[in-house]
Amino acid sequence: MHNAKMPSQDELPSKAKLLKSTVLAAVIAGVLLVTVVLPAEYGVDPTGLGRITGLKRMGEIKVSLAREAAAEQEATLAALESPETNPDPTPDATPEPIVATEPAIDGQTSDEQASESASTRNDETTIELAPDQSTEVKLVMNKGDRTEFTWSTADGSEAFFDLHADSKELGINYHVYEKGTVDKAEGVLEAAFNGSHGWYWKNRTDSVMTITLQTTGQYQAIKRAG
């Protein structure tokens, strides 16, 4: 504090000691840069330590996300600069067919659909994802509606999934049920509120991934985005 006695020069660290500390600090910084920061931010791992600690994977994901965000921004601007083409909100996605036993297109908004009474439906949805590609499949459900589901990847590779929900009407942006990285999952999805409930999948592998989703239960519509 300002009222603390200022020590004499002898009591403060000597110049030699300060110099040694500075050199040591610089060396430590260099080591950390190469073993921790470069892997974690850029996926660059000269020593191989980043792979063991899992930090290299973090860097690779971040670099990939940065590239995707930039590409999305560019493609959006490009789409607007050429108004005669039909703009695709996620231009990196190739059009994917939904193989459904019942057609799923509705003209109403999802919340209008959700306020109607639930009906029991049975759908099978097949999705193909290129490496780093992602997609969403959502079910429009009322609060309390239940749907049995099972999904799996064709070749046993692991997909990142985020089972979540949102509702424009209720102002809920993101409500998570479960997320993880697995090759298959099954269970019962019970809607926590009126809105859209379903999966975000991302293919983080190096090859094309096919996911098949089966849903049986109470929902008004099944929709695909991205």
Partner 1 sequence: MIPSHSSPLRNRLAFVACVLALLALAPEAVAHGVTAGDKGYIQESSGMMPIPFMYLGAKHMMTGYDHLLFLFGVIFFLYRLKDVSIYVTLFAIGHIVTLLSGVLFEIRISAYLIDAIIGFSIVYKALDNMGAYQRWFGFQPNTKAATLIFGLFHGFGLATKILEYQISPDGLLVNLVSFNVGVEVGQILALAAILIVMGYWRRSEGFLRHAYSANTLLMAAGFLFVGYQMAGYFIA
Least Å distance, CB 152 to partner 1, is 18
Instruction: Rank residues 110 and 125 by Cβ distance to partner 1 and give the closer one.
Output: 110
53 makes contact with partner 1 (CB under 8 A): yes
Least Å distance, CB 212 to partner 1, is 20
Instruction: Rank residues 149 and 201 by Cβ distance to partner 1 and give the closer one.
Output: 201
**Own/partner pairs, 88-96, CB within 8 angstroms, 24+ separation:** 89/225, 89/226, 90/225, 90/226, 92/68, 92/133, 93/133, 93/135, 93/226, 94/130, 94/133, 96/127, 96/128, 96/135, 96/224
42 makes contact with partner 1 (CB under 8 A): no
202 makes contact with partner 1 (CB under 8 A): yes
Residue of 141, 184, 183, 182 whose CA lies nearest to 164: 141
Contacts of 16 (CB under 8 A, 6+ apart): none
Q: Show the binding pattern over residues 12-31: x = contacts partner 1 (CB under 8 A), - = does not.
A: xx-x-xx--xx--x--x---
6 makes contact with partner 1 (CB under 8 A): yes
38 makes contact with partner 1 (CB under 8 A): no
